[in-house]
Amino acid sequence: GVALVHSIGRSAGPSATNGWIAKYIFPGGYSPALSEVMGPVEASGLIITDVEILRLHYAATLALWRKRFAANRDAISALYDERFCRMFEFYLAGSELAFRLADHMNFQLQLAREPTALPLTRDYMFEAERARLAEPAE
Protein backbone atom coordinates (compact mmCIF):
# COMPACT_ATOMS: atom_id res chain seq x y z
CA GLY A 1 0.00 0.00 0.00
CA VAL A 2 0.81 3.65 -0.30
CA ALA A 3 -0.09 6.49 2.03
CA LEU A 4 -0.15 10.23 1.51
CA VAL A 5 0.18 12.47 4.56
CA HIS A 6 -0.86 16.07 3.91
CA SER A 7 -0.25 18.62 6.64
CA ILE A 8 0.07 22.27 7.45
CA GLY A 9 3.56 22.71 8.81
CA ARG A 10 6.42 25.08 9.30
CA SER A 11 9.70 25.34 7.47
CA ALA A 12 11.78 27.11 10.13
CA GLY A 13 11.84 24.31 12.69
CA PRO A 14 9.74 23.54 15.77
CA SER A 15 7.97 26.47 17.39
CA ALA A 16 5.00 27.30 19.60
CA THR A 17 1.51 27.80 18.24
CA ASN A 18 0.40 31.41 18.12
CA GLY A 19 -1.43 32.11 21.40
CA TRP A 20 -4.46 33.73 19.78
CA ILE A 21 -4.87 30.86 17.29
CA ALA A 22 -4.49 28.31 20.11
CA LYS A 23 -7.12 30.05 22.25
CA TYR A 24 -9.79 31.00 19.73
CA ILE A 25 -9.39 28.99 16.52
CA PHE A 26 -7.61 25.66 17.04
CA PRO A 27 -7.43 24.80 20.76
CA GLY A 28 -4.82 22.09 21.14
CA GLY A 29 -3.73 22.50 17.51
CA TYR A 30 -0.10 22.44 16.44
CA SER A 31 1.60 22.85 13.07
CA PRO A 32 4.66 20.59 13.08
CA ALA A 33 7.97 21.32 11.46
CA LEU A 34 8.87 18.82 8.78
CA SER A 35 11.86 17.86 10.96
CA GLU A 36 9.46 16.76 13.72
CA VAL A 37 7.60 14.44 11.37
CA MET A 38 10.53 12.73 9.71
CA GLY A 39 11.84 10.92 12.81
CA PRO A 40 8.58 9.15 13.68
CA VAL A 41 8.03 8.22 10.03
CA GLU A 42 11.50 6.72 9.82
CA ALA A 43 10.95 4.86 13.11
CA SER A 44 7.69 3.39 11.75
CA GLY A 45 9.53 1.31 9.19
CA LEU A 46 7.80 3.06 6.31
CA ILE A 47 9.82 4.40 3.39
CA ILE A 48 9.46 8.04 2.42
CA THR A 49 9.02 7.75 -1.34
CA ASP A 50 8.29 11.40 -2.08
CA VAL A 51 8.09 14.77 -0.32
CA GLU A 52 6.39 17.81 -1.78
CA ILE A 53 6.44 21.28 -0.24
CA LEU A 54 3.52 23.48 -1.24
CA ARG A 55 4.97 26.91 -0.43
CA LEU A 56 2.41 29.54 -1.37
CA HIS A 57 -0.57 27.43 -2.35
CA TYR A 58 -2.40 27.77 0.96
CA ALA A 59 -1.79 31.54 1.05
CA ALA A 60 -3.73 31.75 -2.22
CA THR A 61 -6.47 29.51 -0.80
CA LEU A 62 -6.80 31.67 2.32
CA ALA A 63 -6.97 34.82 0.18
CA LEU A 64 -9.87 33.32 -1.78
CA TRP A 65 -11.62 32.24 1.42
CA ARG A 66 -11.23 35.77 2.80
CA LYS A 67 -12.69 37.25 -0.41
CA ARG A 68 -15.65 34.83 -0.33
CA PHE A 69 -16.19 35.46 3.38
CA ALA A 70 -16.32 39.22 2.72
CA ALA A 71 -18.81 38.70 -0.11
CA ASN A 72 -21.10 36.74 2.25
CA ARG A 73 -20.36 38.58 5.48
CA ASP A 74 -23.92 39.80 6.11
CA ALA A 75 -25.38 36.31 5.82
CA ILE A 76 -22.62 34.85 8.01
CA SER A 77 -23.11 37.55 10.62
CA ALA A 78 -26.84 36.76 10.68
CA LEU A 79 -26.05 33.07 11.30
CA TYR A 80 -23.40 33.69 13.94
CA ASP A 81 -22.56 37.19 15.20
CA GLU A 82 -20.29 40.18 14.66
CA ARG A 83 -17.65 38.86 17.07
CA PHE A 84 -17.37 35.64 15.09
CA CYS A 85 -16.99 37.61 11.85
CA ARG A 86 -14.23 39.83 13.21
CA MET A 87 -12.33 36.87 14.65
CA PHE A 88 -12.63 34.84 11.46
CA GLU A 89 -11.52 37.78 9.29
CA PHE A 90 -8.51 38.25 11.57
CA TYR A 91 -7.72 34.52 11.39
CA LEU A 92 -7.95 34.42 7.59
CA ALA A 93 -5.80 37.54 7.08
CA GLY A 94 -3.20 36.54 9.67
CA SER A 95 -2.97 32.99 8.39
CA GLU A 96 -2.59 34.15 4.80
CA LEU A 97 0.35 36.31 5.88
CA ALA A 98 1.90 33.43 7.83
CA PHE A 99 1.87 31.32 4.66
CA ARG A 100 2.88 34.16 2.36
CA LEU A 101 5.59 35.88 4.42
CA ALA A 102 6.55 33.70 7.38
CA ASP A 103 7.44 30.03 7.83
CA HIS A 104 4.13 28.25 7.26
CA MET A 105 3.65 25.80 4.40
CA ASN A 106 1.85 22.63 3.47
CA PHE A 107 3.79 19.45 2.95
CA GLN A 108 2.90 16.07 1.57
CA LEU A 109 4.73 12.87 2.37
CA GLN A 110 4.22 9.80 0.25
CA LEU A 111 4.95 6.65 2.24
CA ALA A 112 5.20 2.98 1.35
CA ARG A 113 6.39 -0.27 2.89
CA GLU A 114 8.16 -1.42 -0.27
CA PRO A 115 10.53 0.69 -2.39
CA THR A 116 8.95 -0.75 -5.55
CA ALA A 117 5.35 0.16 -4.63
CA LEU A 118 5.36 3.13 -7.00
CA PRO A 119 7.02 4.21 -10.23
CA LEU A 120 10.32 6.03 -9.78
CA THR A 121 9.02 9.44 -10.90
CA ARG A 122 5.75 11.36 -10.61
CA ASP A 123 5.09 11.00 -14.35
CA TYR A 124 2.52 8.26 -13.72
CA MET A 125 0.21 10.83 -12.08
CA PHE A 126 0.28 13.11 -15.11
CA GLU A 127 -0.21 10.19 -17.48
CA ALA A 128 -3.22 8.95 -15.51
CA GLU A 129 -4.77 12.43 -15.49
CA ARG A 130 -4.13 12.90 -19.21
CA ALA A 131 -5.80 9.55 -19.92
CA ARG A 132 -8.76 10.44 -17.69
CA LEU A 133 -9.26 13.75 -19.50
CA ALA A 134 -9.05 12.04 -22.89
CA GLU A 135 -11.90 9.64 -22.07
CA PRO A 136 -15.22 10.54 -23.69
CA ALA A 137 -17.82 11.91 -21.26
CA GLU A 138 -20.75 9.60 -20.56
- What per-residue confidence (pLDDT) applies to 41? 95
Residues 54-106 pLDDT 10s: 999 999 999 999 999 999 999 999 999 999 999 999 999 999 999 999 999 99
84 lies in which domain range?
2-134
* DSSP for residue 3: E
Q: Whole-model pTM above 0.85? A: no
- Residue 50 pairs in a beta bridge with 110
Bridge partners, 48 (sequence order)? 111
Average pLDDT over residues 10-39: 95
Are the C-beta atoms of 11 and 103 separated by less than 8 Å? yes
User: Could you read off the pLDDT of 106-138 as tens digits, one per residue?
Assistant: 999 999 999 999 999 889 888 889 999 998 877
Domain containing residue 127: CATH number: 3.40.50.150
The total number of structural domains that make up the chain: 1
